[in-house]
Amino acid sequence: MKTVAIVSKPVKPELRQIVPELVGWLRQHGYKVITDRETCEYTTSECEAIDRQALASLRPDLLIVLGGDGTLLSAARAVAPLGTPILGINLGSLGFLTEVPLEDLYPALEAVHGGQGEPDNRSMVHATLMRGDKVITEHHALNDVILSKSTIARLVAFEIFINKEFVSSYRGDGLIVATPTGSTAYSLAAGGPILTPSVAGLVISPICPHALTHRPVVVPERVEIEILVKNADEEAFLSIDGQIGIPVLQGDKLVCRKSPHVTHMLRLRKTFFDVLRTKLKWGQK
């Protein structure tokens, strides 16, 4: 019996109808169903619930995400070591990653149950925050790793090194290291380029740089990026996919590399450019 995990965005009233019907469909088709604790609250029958961060311990064969891209990002990090295929059902607004609209939920499930769906493999970035010789924290991110100032802090200064070679000094509101998937997120808003998911690269995008000549840079994914924080004054933060925040001190070093983990999305009909045209309204009058 294959196991399907369901995670959902909390406080979505429509889940009271969606989740019981979905659980019923899955069980009728021979699947064992597990959920995160937030989703279990919407079921009408007993369910096996577990903290989202521990989903990988149950080794699901498929992960269904009911929500927006933020929900999918947290779910992707949870199962990244397994490479579990993810089907994203969009209950949000933009939805670059959760591309399947709610009305197509069951046709999509029928397709997946029948062995259809193209794998859409997304690279991740691994970030390690160092304080001297001590590792403060390390995380894998599907979208991006961001070093930024707090709301009222002054400009933060950074030095960037690629494979130990000095690149430049930056002063501004922050820096983004984005994967190709994350190139359509905060990096895009900061003026960065859009990378197709198959591009083997990372984007370094300054956020509101003090010098207008500082522009986004695309580097090969195999390089090691080091960012040295020069004057944080306890007012800078490291953000992982915009969801995990860690205070950063002056002298801290952020090291970013390609993650050994890959997020496996399931794409049914739309191509990457179909999604771009829909979400960014390209070619529409």
User: Which pairing describes strands 174-178 and 225-229: parallel, antiparallel, or unpaired?
Assistant: unpaired
- 146 - beta bridge partners? 176, 239
Per DSSP, helices labelled H in the chain are: 15-28, 37-40, 69-79, 105-113, 186-189, 272-279
DSSP symbols for 21-76: HHHHHHHHTT-EEEEEHHHHTT-SS--EEE-GGGGGGG--SEEEEEE-HHHHHHHH
Q: Which of 36, 61, 69, 173 is catalytic?
A: 69
Q: How far apart are CA 171 and CA 212, in angstroms?
A: 10
As given in the structure block, the two tokens for residue 34 are: 């597990």
* Catalytic status, residue 252: no
Which are the catalytic amino acids? 69
